[in-house]
Chain A
Amino acid sequence: MIQKKICMLGTFAVGKTSLVRRFVESIYSDEYHTTVGVKIDKKVVQLDEQEVMLLLWDIQGEESVQDLRRSYLRGAAGYLLVADGTRRDTLYRTRAIQTVVQDTVALAPFLLLINKSDLTEAWSLEEREIEEMKDKGWQVIRTSAKTGVGVEEAFLTLAQKMLET
């Protein structure tokens, strides 16, 4: 079976862990985040009659991009950048994070997930801002860890992209 390492990246409290939990059954507790700074989960997905095992490295969100542990990124076949739709700053932080990640894994495909899409009232992003990201060539998917909207699609899309590269 093909195995792929995926990193979940994003600022503190954007919902990375919730997205992973929505997608897989976890065996490790969330305490790993505070001790080691990463939590690992596994999910086998079916893509065109091919099984792919995804190893999800859910990396703890740091306040500053400089604090990101680059060694955790090594060998990643793809990554998900996660932003919080109710906090505008988190979207712009993803740009900084992507710059750092590209230094380590230049060719790995990635997606931008704008999470908490269920919280429409608190939504603080304008469509224009999202379009700007798309113009840069980023693929964007709106997700909700709470309702599950877009979660499966996000992981499967990334997996598909990884197989194509």
Chain B
Amino acid sequence: MSLTRASTDELLQLLDSREVSAVEVATAFLDEIEARDEQIGAFLTVDRDGALTAARTADERRAAGESAGLLGGIPVAVKDLVCTRGLRTTCASRMLENFVPPYDAHVVRRLRDEGAVLLGKVNLDEFAMGSSTETSAFRRTVNPWNSEHSPGGSSGGSAAAIAAGLAPLSIGSDTGGSIRQPASFCGVVGLKPTYGRVSRYGLVAFASSLDQLGPLSRDVSGSARLLQVIAGHDPQDATCLNVPVPDWTGQLEQPLEGLKIGVVAEQFADGLDDEVAAAVRAAVEVYRGLGATVEEIELPHARHSVATYYLIAPCEASSNLARYDGVHYGHRAEQFDDMVDMYAASRGEAFGSEVKRRIMLGTWALSSGYYEAYYLKALKVRRLIRQDFDDAFRRVDLIAGPVTPTTAFRTGELTGDPLAMYLADIYTSIANLAGIPGISIPAGISQAGLPIGLQLLAPSLEEDRLLRAARMYERETNWHTRWPASL
């Protein structure tokens, strides 16, 4: 069996039984990246030396009879929005082309502590702003299922790397769907945890009150394990929740009894692709077959989620990205008149058009005279969206639905029409606004051969319910074992 086709559990089994070494596993993935990433375009930086050193450490620990950690010797690809000490962190922006952080993000420390082997940094939309990984300043990432299609975004490099067998696990970030949407487009598992479940320290901020780091993997078990490693309280992030971390990996195989699943009728109305709708309905039937009851529910304010999201996120982003001014780090223009001009020229030339568009939108909405009618109004609607979920989860345990209105769109298809691109976040951004966890799992393949995802949403801190329900479905179906025909 090819090591690069193995799941995380299978790799751990091979490593623990000493059938293969961590160095062999790392080498297999590094070689695969070298051979095939030119075509996929998932990686921005490959850290061969760092990966092999970490792999050797994992092997030494096992040889000494010590614990190698929850991820001892397992390769992980990290979205290049996450700071890695001594390793270039670009956010896929010219602005940070040469930025080398002097510190590790909390999740990176956790990964290193648990023996993970960091393969390198993967591509994304510039500063995570986008849904197609096309706004990356450096390279295009293709969808491994069809190279003419987008892998989704913004964690497109993470999803493509897993779908193409270039990494078994990846860290992504999700502000309005940026883990779940590319997971769905690439036929892999992606989980956005409860806001505050994972420390954001070292995650380069896009929209602070919406951003959350999370796992992408081949199967549910991989995500459960990666989440197990990165979740938990961190005193360096004041928004990180100080709550116990359950044993997700240990409970994963226990099916949920008497599961009540909610379905939002409105999500199946206009704009949802027929094949996607059919796949989601079929998935709901799988749950019914497993003894779940299905109930129709309403989220009355959900249809305003994109409008709400596209005010709050740009407002926060305009502020978070103000620090890139060419003074303390980042790009500085060569030609300028004076200091004010230096700022404007540096930012004008180093940010791409989607980033500038959102900075403009957010700056405008926070500026004098517009704050209350736009930003504050959006915060109020956000509260109503959250209340919709509170009401819904009094009746059902989980909400099942589509991740995206369509399967992966063609590269370039939506780049000229920002609003159309934003509308693709309709099913995912509600979870970020409400702060609740959500997962995308493979649930079908379209006639055109593109993956279809199923989204499950759970109440805050109920990742356990989410993972076990996802695993119930996964056991009944085999979508997660499919590989793109080209591989």
Are the chains A and B members of one assembly? Answer: no
Q: Which residues of B are in contact with A by a Cβ distance under 8 Å?
A: none
Q: Which residues of A are in contact with B by a Cβ distance under 8 Å?
A: none
